[in-house]
Structure 1
Amino acid sequence: MRQFLKQALLVFMTAALPVLLWAQVAVTGTVTDASGKTIPGASIRLKNSNLGTSSDANGKFSFTIPGTGGTLEISAISFKSQTLQVSAANSSLSIQLADDVGKLDEVIVTGLATSVKRRNLANAVATISSKELSGTAPAQTFDAALNGKITGAYINANSGAPGGGISVKLRGVTSVFGNTQPLYVVDGVFIDNTATSAGLTFVTGAVRNAATSNQDNPSSRVADLRADDIENIEILKGASAAAIYGSKAAAGVVLITTKRGKQGKTKISFAQDIGFVKVRKLLGTRSLTSKIVADQGWDVAEYNAAVAAGKIYDYEKDIYGETGLTRNTSVSVTGGTDKTSFYFSASQKNEDGIVKNTGFRSNSLRLNVDHRISDNIKIGISTNYINSSADRGITNNDNNSVSYGVALSSTPSFTELHPDANGNFPRNKYGASNPLETIALASNNEGVNRFITGINIDAIFQKSASSTTRFIGRGGVDFYNLKTFALFPNTLQFQEINEGTVAQGFAKSLSSNLILSVVNNFTPSTNLSLTTSAGITQENGNFDNILNIATHLVGGQSNVNMAGALTAIQLRNKNQDNGIFVQEEASIADAVMLTAGIRFDRSTNNGDPDKYFIYPKAGLSWNLTRMGFWNGNLFDNLKIRAAYGQAGNFPVFGSKFNSMVVANTGGLLGTLVSTIRGNTGIKPERTAELEAGLDFSVLNSRLNFELTFYNKTITGFLLQRPVAGSSGFSTQWINAGDLRNRGIEISVNAQPIATRDVRWTTTVNFWMNRSKVTKLDVDPVEVGAFSTGLGIFRIEKGATATQIVGKDGANGTHKLGDTEPKFQMNFFNEVTFLKNFSLRFLLHWKYKGDNLNLSEFLTDLGGTSPDFDKDDDGNGVVNGVQRVNDYLAGSARNFVQEAGYLRLREVGLYYTFINMPASFIKGLRLGISANNYFTKTNYRNYDPEVSNFGTGFSSNVDVMPFPASKRATFHLAVDF
């Protein structure tokens, strides 16, 4: 009997095999847009299966599906999804996708393991595509590429120094002493964005009796990321969207998804950018006469001799007038099968700065691999190695007149600073340093080696006709070594006493996170779908920074052991955060979306490390046009939405302890208790946000509106309050009060022209925010900046959180300005014409908002301001003298200056070739672009975007920064 069954099975297989082989359909086709232009990278998948492919550089695709036919799902970024039936009789396809101007089919993250299409989203989530991020005019660093592109954000460049340094605030101020920057998540990995001091204040004296400072002009570590590797960015701007991230989400969350491989033929892409970078604006120099020189107390004989010899110099141009060469080379390889796909990229960037001996170099390797172990289990791995080096120069605040700008502020144009024939620099008679000598001989370098590795496991362990249950595990590791190296040789003018100084810092950061969740999708009927998710999270941080500062260097050496004196400082932070979350989402008739969730968080940074803090969230969206009763023809999409959520911000590390400091008494070494008193009851700052909005589309979705109102409150924000001197302490950390942010965000997406020859897509965004301190348990606190004589920030009940107060002569001390803009707008446009050409540009308008311009104050005191001898108000007193006299009379009003602007951030013109010069070339594109090339502003310094005090609360302070630059670039991209 057994033998008979074997023979019967053999006969059956022999007969059936040709039929099984024959029952396949070879599908081929081309994907284009409405104008007939091919769409590369479109996804073509067989519905309810793992089979699929993507279109090549010419929009073509081919793959084989089993059986006699099926349903294909075709999707591409910025286009509406489409489904098609295919069979043996209909296997050669010409697919035309319609533009998704309103991004209604865009999939948005709604939880740690869930997502929903934008048309059913309850929050206003900003997204940035790869084309919007780096496809127009690439910026030097990733963080700089974000500027002007996020609705609801206030983004400032801390300075123009090579290597980046950007401050990002989403929907207003969220903390005063705590973290103000959003959480960055790359492919599920929480990355460290610490800005690490290089110890420059030991030389510059920016902060007296301190070796580290937020005024050291370090870059933020998010600048390490390579923008060209990024596929998409989602910005959860408020607690209503970010609550599921708990105590790390008070300042918002930036979710970054990098590029992945796709099934299909292996594609190799090569890109080469080359261009130049120049200073955005030079202020000019003061025109001198013998009388002016005498009135300033300068050397008239030296001036007359310089005039006679024709040696009147423009030192500003000598310092900041370099034209730097920029080069960026990258290669990427992508491809895959139905089981395994991969994306690999290698890049090298090298940019010279606008100051000699400054620049930025970066090397990056990325490998993303996705593998389907079985029909139910898939795994994805993301790896990224970055090696970068930034020579940032010596700029920003300085009390010792050693940085370029401060030294220049008191140096007249006739004195000689250039080296002699033997390379020896003369001493600066009018300042503590010779800036040309400092540029030539001093160093300030940041070097980074960084590994970011993430893993994603998605396993289906239960599946039926109405229910699917998945296990999703995500997490990873972010590790970097940062070395800072600042050398000031003993030959420098300002090193005569210290006889050479070197500051070497070594920072090691290891961050890891893990998210384990279970997600169940239950669809009891066609009109109801339930998604339940629950899980646990853990984040660990370990940061160790050692800073060695050595003086009296031996024989010009730079090793710290070759010195007569050595000061060592170590900062170590270690924390662990744990969370538990549950979330339920209900979709009713694909029209109503209900969301509710809760997160429980604890942290070793809290006063009670074992206490869990609760962060709830809820959301409702109702798409009226998808309801059965809707019969109107005006709206293609009409949705009302509302959401509420809470998130937290951990206390400052160590704020619950009484820390110890080193003491030396009579040569005896020991420790003393710090003057800052710890608070064992310290709690996280809590942010609660209520958001409501209206979204609608008309004219066949060619005109789309999104209107959002939000009210965000921060309770228990952190401050240091004075305590009684009898306690032995001077200040103590407390949860001091509450503040509120209210705002409006309006977004309009439109396609005014859509013909075969010309297509114009435009996006206009408007946003404004207003803050107010609603509760303060202590007296008003002055923070940031310097003093009321020069202008300072003040936290006081009933006032805005961003006000600038200062002395105003007989009017006393009161509010002089506010750093918060009245509103901001951006305009992004893309015009394609003649099929091959694409023109893109981004305009950014910031209306009002003030800076503390203390750079002009220094040049006024030094007598070098370009407009010193003008009389703008016609009162007979020149500008420079009048501003100094006002200061001496007790007024800081001149330093508070409006810093609004209209800026052409990016513009690019590209040409895509249709007929390739060789068969092995699948795509070819040429282009030219400009970044920050035009700015209209009345602000009286190098750039209205400035924040010399780093990424914290005290932004918009301008004290001799590294000037901003503009760049022009030529682009070549080839696909093989």
Structure 2
Amino acid sequence: MKKKSQISKGFLLFLFLFPVVVFSQETIFGTVVNQDTGEGIPFINVIEDGTNNGTASDIDGNFSINVSSLPVTLKVFAIGFTEKLVPVSNAGEIKIQVKESLESLDEVVVTGLATSVKRSNAANAVSTVSSEDLAGLTPPQTLDGALAGKFAGALITKSSGAPGGGISVKLRGVTSINGNSQPLYIVDGVYVNNNSISGAGLNAVSGAAAGGNASSQDNPSNRIADINPDDIESVEILKGASAAAIYGARAAAGVVIITTKKGKRGQTKISFKQDIGFNSILRPRGQRTFTAERAESSFGAGEGQAFLDAQAAGTLIDYEDEVYGEKGFITNTSVNVSGGSENTLFYAAFSNNEEDGIVKNTGYDRKSIRFNLDHDFFDRRAKLSLTTNYVNSKADRGFFNNDNTGTTIGVALTSTPPWADLRPNDIGVYPDNPYGASNPLQTRDLITNREDVNRFIVGSTLDLDLYENDKSNLKLVLRGGVDYYNLVTTAFFPKLLQFQNLNNGGVNGLSALGTTENKDANYSAFLVHNYTTTNNLNFTTQAGITKQTFFRNTVRNITTDLIAFETNLDQGANVSVTQFRQEQEDQGFFIQEELNYQDKIIGTLGVRGDKSSNNGDANELFYYPKASAAINFHNFEFWKTEIVNQFKIRAAYGEAGNFAPNGALFTTYTNTLIDGVAGIIAPAILGNSNILPERQKEFEIGFDASFLNKRIGLEFSYYNKTVDDLILQANIEPSSGFTTEFSNAGNLSNRGVEVALNASIIEKENFT
């Protein structure tokens, strides 16, 4: 009875205390909204500050949390938003406004093939460009053009003014003479091809390659122009070997890492944007001021009177304005849809970019479709990311650039005086230009030089959490990607062109068709292990293997001596076919160890090993080490100043490679007819099967600082770069049957200073 009585008393005590416990809790509920848009923010964390008591908002931004007593402070935070502390005195409904934080999105930079680090801890000079900086105000037509002027250490120049590309990007100066000097582009983990492929056969008309490389003299565009800048979330530029060593044998010219936009959790959003603009010449050179005497001395007897007659009749023609005076209409149209649930995010976009050139019959048209998907499963222990992009582009590029025959439009204009009337008559017949090898107006109006591209870029990444406890975790990262495109180049020079006439040394009309099939694929698998000691020393270890395959097949067909106005390749007397084929396979490994002591001292050691079928010995591994260290003085206890918010010194060393150019390894013979019998002839250049890749070594030191509540940022870097085993064409004894040979015959050094100053001068709610 006594035991039963005690149980009864205990039960009565529980009934008495239970309402007290329940009613002593206070409930706070409400909505977390975006300060700029007023829309609810889903899945944002709401935590009672200083405790583990918390919740997350639902898909509409609503939340509810019970606290033991009031007043309390709620901490509200999520990736992409500024963390906010909200004091609450009374229970009930509240509305919390938080602001999107671009800084928090941009503060992570790549340090390994499967890892990243906060920008404040980076030991290399890595530049980043956000989507707002890239295409936020005036949308550029091409990605490489959008990067111009956005970061220190780059020389970005146009090699052609034709719409649709032709831009050279050099990071920290020249790194090669005969090898690749353009950076490696990585889009969502996919190796993206940026070759400038000569396929139109313009050299058969212009003779531009008489003393140079046909590929660079045929006015081709570069293929990075296919990437739509509006699809890009951020760009990271690894300028030097100390940062780019993670990509080994392909990184000597630097690496540009591009991340495209992803969906965000919450309600589905549809965005539409329309931009309209014009192209026009900025700084015309203007006409030369002629007199009768000057016309006579420059162009010969009788030309002075011809000038005076045209001047009196008012028929002088400004040929610069006639050719380059068009107002090219530009339209950029884009539609994107994004959203997501707790486990799935999606982003879909369509864009149409059209640009008319400042010269008639030139222009660029690009259509792009993108779909990105991210999905978490196995209780978020696995994440699959899929990125897909289809691009269709057309570019009419005119007939410009280098020329050894005087027939391109720009070259012909230099010798054409304003009193020459080269316009067609009433029935459309153009006169010959007595002052040059071609009539530039006739050339502009009648020739065809077009590139058509169909391209697919697909990438996927699978992250698997294999093991996790309080101090360590192990993750497997699997990644793969394919970049496939088909390029068709079409050129047509009708026989009625002045410079196609047989009497003028022409070939009686030319029709050319080039096709290129290009497929690049990359695969990698990495294990990433994180371990933190009791004194907050963090070790991040990654190790993995990589493989890349490259395939290209270019066939160029050129027909001359055309029948009438036929454009078909079979409607000509002379047909020539050339073909370029390349298959390459690279394999390697990458190992890296990163140490971080309380965000105060950060260090990295790593090595990449690569072998390639493009090397003389396909099984020989070439090693590319890297090492870096940084000290964040502002994270130490002794750092008390409020004026200097951040001060970090950093130093780094790294090595990267550059493959030998095509044709350097082996001697390529040319087919010909010898006394009517098919045969081959030896070229002037001898290949070298023992040639080594160029090796770039770079040491970099610098500091980063921010002042006045991070309103002002200063970055300083000094770098010293050397290139060993530089590949040159060296003279050899003529008795060998050749004149030059590819050889590792030189060294190159390049050093410089980079300074970047960033300032937020005005920060207001509606104006920055």
Normalised TM-score (structure 2):
0.89
Aligned residues: 728
For 1:355, give the aligned amino acid. Answer: V
Deviations 1:427-477 (A, max 9, x none): 111112111111111111111111000101111111111111111112200
Aligned-partner SS, 1:214: helix
Letter in 2 for 1:62: G
1:280-321 deviation line (CA, Å, top 9, x unaligned): 221111233332232221544544443343211111111110
Match of 1:732 in 2: 741
- Specify the alignment match of 1:156 in structure 2: 157
Pairwise CA distance, 1:264: 0.4
Partner of 1:435: 440
Correspondence for 1:485: 490
In the alignment, does 2:205 pair up with 1:187?
A: no
Aligned counterpart, 1:928: none
In the aligned structure 1, how far is the partner of 2:709 from the partner of 2:444? 59
Indicate the SS of the match to 2:526. Answer: strand
1: CA distance between counterparts of 2:656 and 2:90?
54
Structure 2 SS opposite 1:753:
coil
Find the counterpart in structure 2 of residue 661 from structure 1: 670
Partner Cα distance (2:168, 2:255) in 1 = 14
Residues 494/24 of structure 1: CA separation in 2 closer, same or farther (3 Å cut):
farther
Q: Distance in 1 between matches of 2:82 and 2:690?
A: 53
SS in 2 for 1:266: strand
Aligned partner (choices 518, 527, 540) of residue 531 of structure 1: 540
Aligned twin of 1:818: none
- Flag structure 1 segments of 5+ consecutive residues without an equivalent: 1-18, 56-60, 757-834, 839-976
Which residue of 665, 671, 674 maps to 2:680?
671
Residue 214 (structure 1) aligned to one of 213, 216, 228: 216
Aligned to 1:891: none
Match of 1:371 among 372, 375, 378: 375
**In the TM superposition, what are the counterparts of 1:178-577 in structure 2 within 5 Å?**
178-197=179-198, 198-208=200-210, 212-295=214-297, 296-297=299-300, 299-300=302-303, 302-374=306-378, 375-497=380-502, 498-525=507-534, 527-577=536-586
**Structure 1 position 591 matched with structure 2 position 614:** no
Cα distance in 1, alignment partners of residues 367 and 355 from structure 2: 12
Alpha-carbon spacing, 1:377–1:564, altered in 2? closer, same or farther (3 Å)? same
CA contact (8 A) 1:512 1:541 kept: yes
Residue pair 1:695, 1:707 contacting (<8 A) in 2 also = yes
1:71–1:567: structure 2 CA closer, same or farther, 3 Å change rule? same
Change beyond 3 A, Cα 1:134–1:566: same
Structure 2: runs of 5 or more not aligned: 1-21, 69-73
Given the superposition, is the C-alpha separation of residues 538 and 107 from structure 1 closer, same or farther in structure 2, using an over 3 Å criterion? same
Residues in 1 aligned to 2:330 and 2:159: alpha-carbon distance in whole angstroms? 21
Letter in 2 for 1:572: R
2:714, 2:756 within 8 Å by CA — same for their partners in 1?
yes
Aligned equivalents of 1:104 and 1:231: distance in 2?
A: 9
CA contact under 8 A between 1:105 and 1:119: conserved in structure 2?
no
Q: Render the CA deviation track for 1:500-558: whole Å, top value 9, x for unaligned.
A: 10121111110001121011111233522111111011111101111111101122111
Give SS of 1:279's match: coil
Residue identity in the other structure for 2:558: I
User: Which residue number corresponds to residue 31 of structure 2?
Assistant: 28
Pairing of 1:632-647 with structure 2 (within 5 A): 632-647=641-656
Q: Give the CA deviation at 1:681.
A: 1.4
- Corresponding position of 2:750: 741
2:10 counterpart residue number: none
Query: Residues 342 and 200 (structure 1 numbering): CA distance in 2 closer, same or farther, change over 3 Å?
Result: same
**How far apart are the structure 1 equivalents of 2:90 and 2:617?**
67
1:166-193 C-alpha deviation (Å, 9 max, x unpaired): 1111111111100001000000000100
How far, CA to CA, are the matches of 1:353 and 1:658 in structure 2?
Answer: 41
For the residue of structure 2 that corresponds to 1:398, the secondary structure is: coil
CA shift at 1:602, angstroms?
0.7
Deviation for aligned residue 1:91 = 7.2
Shift of 1:673: 3.3
Distance 1:159 1:40, change over 3 A: farther
> Superposed, which structure 2 residues align to 1:789-804 within 5 Å?
none
1:711 and 1:294 map into 2 onto residues whose CA distance is 56
Corresponding residue of 1:167: 168
2: CA distance, partners of 1:554 / 1:51: 79
- The residue number in structure 1 matching 2:612 is 603
Match of 2:4 in 1: none
User: Cα distance 1:483–1:539, how it changes in 2: closer, same or farther (>3 A)?
Assistant: same
Contact 2:547 2:588 in 1 (8 A): yes
- C-alpha distance in structure 1 between counterparts of 2:82 and 2:98, whole Å: 10
| SS across alignment from 1:195 | coil
Distance in 2 (alpha carbons) for counterparts of 1:706 and 1:31: 32
Distance 1:89 1:370 in 2: 38
CA displacement at 1:143 relative to structure 2: 1.1
Task: Give the Cα–Cα distance (whole angstroms) in 2 for the partners of residues 442 and 100 of structure 1.
Answer: 48
- Structure 1 residue 641: deviation in Å? 1.1
Distance in 2 separating the partners of 1:449 and 1:312 = 45
Question: Contact 1:200/1:211 (CA < 8 Å) preserved in 2?
Answer: no
Moved more, 627-636 or 710-719: 627-636
356-365 or 286-295: bigger deviation: 286-295
Contact 2:688/2:741, CA 8 A, preserved across alignment: yes
Q: SS of the counterpart of 2:629?
A: strand
Q: Secondary structure at the match of 2:760?
A: strand
In structure 2, do the counterparts of structure 1 residues 495 and 358 end up closer, same or farther at CA, with 3 Å as the change threshold? Answer: same
CA distance in 2, matches of 1:42, 1:435: 61
- The 5-angstrom pairing of residues 832-871 of structure 1 reads 835=766
Separation in 1, partners of 2:405, 2:546: 48
Name 1:137's counterpart in structure 2. 138
* 1:13-52 to 2 correspondences below 5 Å: 28-32=31-35, 44=44
Aligned-partner SS, 1:583: strand
Q: Secondary structure at the match of 1:521?
A: strand
Contact 1:73 1:84 survives alignment (8 Å): no
Say if 1:409 and 1:234 are closer, same or farther in 2 by CA, change over 3 A.
same
- In 1, Cα distance between equivalents of 2:89 and 2:112: 38
- The 8 Å contact of residues 52 and 338 in structure 1, kept in 2 or not, is answered as no
* Separation (CA, whole Å) in 2 of partners of 1:216 and 1:669: 28
The 1:478–1:89 alpha-carbon spacing in structure 2 relative to 1, beyond 3 Å, is farther
Paired letter, 1:517: F
- After superposition, the CA RMSD in angstroms is 2.9
Q: What is the TM-score of this pair, normalised by structure 1?
A: 0.71
Do the aligned partners of residues 390 and 629 (structure 1) sit closer, same or farther apart at CA in structure 2, a change above 3 Å counting?
same
Matched with 2:12 is none
Once the two structures are superposed, what CA deviation does each residue of 1:694-725 show, in whole Å capped at 9, x if it has no partner? 12222222222221111111111110101101
Task: State the 1:108 CA deviation.
Answer: 0.9
Is the alpha carbon distance of 1:455 and 1:704 closer, same or farther for their aligned partners in structure 2, counting shifts above 3 Å? same
Contact 2:33 2:40 in 1 (8 A): no
Aligned residue identity for 2:127: A
Q: What is the alpha-carbon distance in structure 2 between the residues aligned to residue 207 and residue 115 of structure 1? A: 44
What secondary structure is seen at the aligned counterpart in 1 of 2:610? strand
* In 2, Cα distance between equivalents of 1:417 and 1:668: 46
Shift of 1:50: 14
C-alpha displacement at 1:43, in angstroms? 8.6
Corresponding letter in the other structure for 2:77: E
SS in 2 for 1:207: helix
Structure 1 distance, partners of 2:426, 2:102, is: 66
User: Amino acid of the residue matched to residue 542 of structure 1?
Assistant: F
Give, as a single letter, the amino acid of the residue that structure 1 aligns with 2:152: T
Q: Which moves more between the two structures, 669-678 or 737-746?
A: 669-678
Pairwise CA distance, 1:559 = 1.2
Percent identity, aligned pairs only?
Answer: 45
